């Protein structure tokens, strides 16, 4: 039987733990780089008077020096949670 490198699930790491996908895949580096837990960032986003995705991304970039990808991931995940009632 031949083993294809694509037959392994893309969601696990070498120790068999689930690896985050989508916006959550940025969360460990966001916490490390900016020194705040993700839930604190989400509280800041939710407390902002801004409501539109790109307004919030621009705000995080301007006020906190966050990179576009990190800001976008946080805003996308926060707005998704809020929309789904999570």
Tally of domains in the chain: 1
The two structure tokens encoding residue 35:
């020194």
Which pTM was predicted?
Answer: 0.76
CA distance 30 to 74: 9
Range of the domain at 43: 21-84
Residue 65 lies in a domain: yes
Give me 66's structure tokens.
């966050």
Does residue 15 lie in a domain region? no
Residue 10 lies in a domain: no
Run of H or E residues at 79: helix 68-84
Residue 7 counted as domain residue: no
45 domain-assigned: yes
pLDDT of residue 21: 86
List, run by run, the mean pLDDT of 10-residue segments along the chain (86 residues).
Answer: 44 58 93 97 98 98 97 97 88
Token couple for 6: 């694509």
Task: Give the integer Cα–Cα distance in Å for 5 and 7.
Answer: 6
């Amino acid at each position: 039987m031949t083993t294809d490198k694509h037959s392994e699930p893309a969601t696990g790491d070498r120790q068999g733990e689930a690896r985050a996908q989508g916006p959550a895949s940025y969360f460990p580096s966001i916490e490390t780089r900016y020194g705040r837990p993700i839930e604190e960032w989400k509280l800041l986003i939710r407390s902002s008077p801004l409501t539109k995705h790109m307004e919030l991304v621009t705000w995080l970039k301007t006020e906190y020096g966050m990179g576009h990808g990190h800001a976008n991931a946080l805003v996308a995940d926060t707005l998704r949670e809020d929309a789904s009632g999570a």
